[in-house]
């Protein structure tokens, strides 16, 4: 299939805006500067273009574009009600939206969680909701269950294959728990986990689903500073495996340390984007979001 993004990209003069500088949305080309040299050689693994979501008369997300490269962590910040969660909902097909979505350069039609999932987009919600009566490993297995419907005969014929697939799923679930540091809790009921551990279990579920892009909504919420630091290392490690991360969060220190690039939303619009240091210097971000006083 021809890549719809590539021709546009080749036609663009490479990187007219200084890499370290803030990239104002109005003058920005379709491809913002990726964070690492290796990322520049590739297409974004996620490219959401001109996303709009209307709720009745309210435009909750207004022409937002965001790219995430393989192995990159992109943060989305903004005041309450600025459309961060709705943007993730739009990209993952949970709410009706207009715009364009490409995963690995291939167009994915908006509006279906199933399609988004099949394309490799995995979404973690604001509050972890493990099935408390199931064990941790069972909770992870739920996230990787194969929901394709097979006839009885096919299921019977496929038994030997399915047994192996099940073994691999179990090994994958255990590996995901090991990855987040819950390996020794695999057989414990999820109900006994602390809130911070439930958050990690949620991330294990995300990892086990083998995402191309993992989207997290307020992952540091409810975590103490030690847990937040551990989460930061974990998410960087997940990105280092080649997953693209799109992370909404309120904790500025966390976002600053975690993200390669940041997009700032205000009433549904992108008001700033770029590398963290540049975003923090932006006057609109200081005024509207950080509430930092400045003179002149």
The minimum distance between CB 83 and ligand ADP, in angstroms, equals: 4
Answer yes or no whether residue 81 interacts with ligand ADP by CB under 6 A. yes
Check if the beta carbon of residue 210 is closer than 8 Å to that of residue 218.
Answer: no
Site for Mg ion, rule CB under 5 A: 84-85
- Closer residue to ligand ADP (CB): 89 or 139: 89
Q: Is the dihedral of CA 55, 58, 62, 66 positive or negative?
A: negative
Check if the beta carbon of residue 227 is closer than 8 Å to that of residue 235.
Answer: no
Answer yes or no whether residue 200 interacts with ligand ADP by CB under 6 A. no
- Closer residue to ligand ADP (CB): 58 or 158: 58
The minimum distance between CB 72 and Mg ion, in angstroms, equals: 22
List the Cα angle 244/246/247 in 5-degree steps.
135
Among 65, 85, 139, 263, binds ligand ADP (CB under 6 A): 85
Say whether 163 sits in a helix, a strand or coil. Answer: helix
Answer yes or no whether residue 206 interacts with ligand ADP by CB under 6 A. no
Answer yes or no whether residue 147 interacts with ligand ADP by CB under 6 A. no
Query: Which range of residues in 37-45, 82-90, 141-149, 179-187 is near ligand ADP by CB under 6 A?
Result: 82-90
Check if the beta carbon of residue 130 is closer than 8 Å to that of residue 202.
Answer: yes
Which of 285, 241, 287, 264 minimizes the C-alpha distance to 78?
264
- Closer residue to Mg ion (CB): 85 or 220: 85
Q: Which tokens in the block code for residue 109?
A: 């039609």
How many other C-beta atoms lie within 10 A of the C-beta of residue 91? 28
- Closer residue to Mg ion (CB): 85 or 139: 85
130 binds, among Mg ion, ligand ADP, none (CB under 5 to 8 A by kind): none
- Residue 101 pairs in a beta bridge with 48
The minimum distance between CB 60 and ligand ADP, in angstroms, equals: 3
Q: How far is it, in rounded angstroms, from Cα 2 to Cα 141? A: 35
- Closer residue to Mg ion (CB): 85 or 92: 85
Q: How far is it, in rounded angstroms, from Cα 201 to Cα 70? A: 23
Answer yes or no whether residue 84 interacts with ligand ADP by CB under 6 A. yes
- Closer residue to ligand ADP (CB): 55 or 156: 55
In which region does residue 161 sit, left (phi positive, over 0), alpha (psi from -120 to 50) or beta (all else)?
alpha
Per-residue mark of binding to ligand ADP, 40-79 (x: CB under 6 A): ---------------x--x-x-----------------x-
Backbone angles phi, psi at 31, to 5 degrees: -115, 100
For 104-151, the DSSP string reads: TTEE--SS-HHHHHHHTEEEE-SS----TTSBHHHHHHHHT-------
The minimum distance between CB 213 and ligand ADP, in angstroms, equals: 18
Check if the beta carbon of residue 97 is closer than 8 Å to that of residue 110.
Answer: yes
Answer yes or no whether residue 83 interacts with ligand ADP by CB under 6 A. yes
The minimum distance between CB 80 and ligand ADP, in angstroms, equals: 4
- Closer residue to Mg ion (CB): 173 or 265: 265
Among 47, 65, 86, 198, binds ligand ADP (CB under 6 A): 86
Interface residues with ligand ADP (CB under 6 A) are 55, 58, 60, 78, 80-86
């Amino acid at each position: 299939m021809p890549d719809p993004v590539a021709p546009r990209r080749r036609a663009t003069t490479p990187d007219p805006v200084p890499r370290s500088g803030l990239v104002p949305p109005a003058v920005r080309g379709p491809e913002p500067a990726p964070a690492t040299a290796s990322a520049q050689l590739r297409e974004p693994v996620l490219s959401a273009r001109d996303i709009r979501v209307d709720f009745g008369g309210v435009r909750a997300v207004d022409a937002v574009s965001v790219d995430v490269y393989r192995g990159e962590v992109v943060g989305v910040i903004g005041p309450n009600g600025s459309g961060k969660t709705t943007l993730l909902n739009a990209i993952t097909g949970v709410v009706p939206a207009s715009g364009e979505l490409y995963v690995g350069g291939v167009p994915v039609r908006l509006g279906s969680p199933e399609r988004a999932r099949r394309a490799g987009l995995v979404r973690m919600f604001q509050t972890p909701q493990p099935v408390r009566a199931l064990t941790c490993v069972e909770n992870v297995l739920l996230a990787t269950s194969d929901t394709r419907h097979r006839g009885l005969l096919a299921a019977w014929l496929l038994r030997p294959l399915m047994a192996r697939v099940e073994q691999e799923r179990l090994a994958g679930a255990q590996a995901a728990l090991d990855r987040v540091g819950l390996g020794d809790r695999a057989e414990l009921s999820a109900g006994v986990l602390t809130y911070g551990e439930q958050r990690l279990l949620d991330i294990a579920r995300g990892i086990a689903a083998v995402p191309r892009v993992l989207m997290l909504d307020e992952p540091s919420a409810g975590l103490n500073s030690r847990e937040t630091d551990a989460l930061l290392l974990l998410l960087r490690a997940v990105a280092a495996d080649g997953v693209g991360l799109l992370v909404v969060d309120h904790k500025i220190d966390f976002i600053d340390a975690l993200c390669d690039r940041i997009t700032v939303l205000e009433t549904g619009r992108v008001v700033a984007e770029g590398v963290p240091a540049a975003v923090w210097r932006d006057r609109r971000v200081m005024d509207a979001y950080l509430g930092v006083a400045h003179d002149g």
